[in-house]
Every structure is written in C-alpha cells, then in structure tokens.
A and B are shown apart, each in its own frame.
Chain A
Amino acid sequence: EAGVAQSPRYKIIEKRQSVAFWCNPISGHATLYWYQQILGQGPKLLIQFQNNGVVDDSQLPKDRFSAERLKGVDSTLKIQPAKLEDSAVYLCASSSPRGGNTIYFGEGSWLTVV
C-alpha cells in the first residue's frame, strides 16, 4: 500500500514570496491533516479535513495560509506571503476508521524562508 505522498520535498523562497505544497493521502483515507513542525519542536496541527470539508482550522494563520481539498482526495497548502518564521517542515497525514484511525504521516516538505 502506498503511503502519504508529498511534494516538493524541499523548497527555499524569499520572504514575501508564495509557496504551495501538495499532498496525496493513502487511498481511501477520508481524513487528511496538515501539521507544521518547526525545528526542535513537535508537530502542530494546522488544519484537518474530513473528505472535502474542514473539521478544524483553529491554528491555521488564515491571513497568510490557505488549504483546500476540493475533491476529497489530494490537498494543497499555500503560504502567501511567506515570513521568516514559516521556515519549518510541513507534514501531511491521513487516517481512516478502517485503520483504527491511526494517523500515517508523509515524509514532509521542508521550507526555508530567507
């Protein structure tokens, strides 16, 4: 079974530029998550989708971050404009009740803002 796919793996941008990350969850997983992991810290949930609806986006900085999952499968996370403090690893994850709701993570997209 293929895991959670993310791209790009690495991205370096200048502050005030924009960036987008893509995620394809495990096939059949209705729940998709985006986490932000700043170096030396644990991951923090940004947004959670159930199919194409948002379940929790309480910690998403909505003035600059947006995310969508239009067809209930893959998802895109966008940052515009980026700030230096957005430098982090952006982790996508998915889960399904059939899998005991275990959350499976992708390898992450490493963002450096200079």
Chain B
Amino acid sequence: DTEVTQTPKHLVMGMTNKKSLKCEQHMGHRAMYWYKQKAKKPPELMFVYSYEKLSINESVPSRFSPECPNSSLLNLHLHALQPEDSALYLCASSLNRVQPQHFGDGTRLSIL
C-alpha cells in the first residue's frame, strides 16, 4: 500500500464535464507533484508544488488546473478535456525538493 492516496481510482468523463482528482499524504512532505503517464511510457511531469506554492508548471494546457489547499492535499481540476488527455494521472510527494519522490497508485482517466 502506498502512503500517497489518490481518488478516484478510475474516472470516465465527457469532454464538457468538470471533475477533480484528489491526492493526499500525511508523511509531512512539503513538495507535491502531478504527473501524466501514457501506456508503456515513463511519467511526464505536469506541476510541482513546494510549500503549497506552485513552483513548476511544465507548460500544461489551462484545461488542467492544480490546487494545493494545504500541505497534505493536492487537487487537479479538469475541464473541457480532450480524448488525448486519457491517461494515468499520478501524484507524488517528497520531503523536500532533493529527497526521493513517492508515488500514489494514480487515477485512470478516460475521456469520451
């Protein structure tokens, strides 16, 4: 079992829907990450939050909107997604920016 918890595990949504992915950790980690992973590919970094502030945005389209309400929670708000956005979305956390990242099990997202 991972110590980074992601919900939901699976999500199917239409292109006009609005939904949110949630990530939670209680390890006291101060850096949290969102990744997108396509089948048979490595994870691709989307966003990094450090001490609840957005520190890296890897030129992600605005239809993906991250939010870090507190040091334990990370959300990814989704709106008007495209079929090519179907993927596994992984959350990760680390104690600080130089410590290893620990991943959750991801949300499998399918866009109809």
Bound together: no
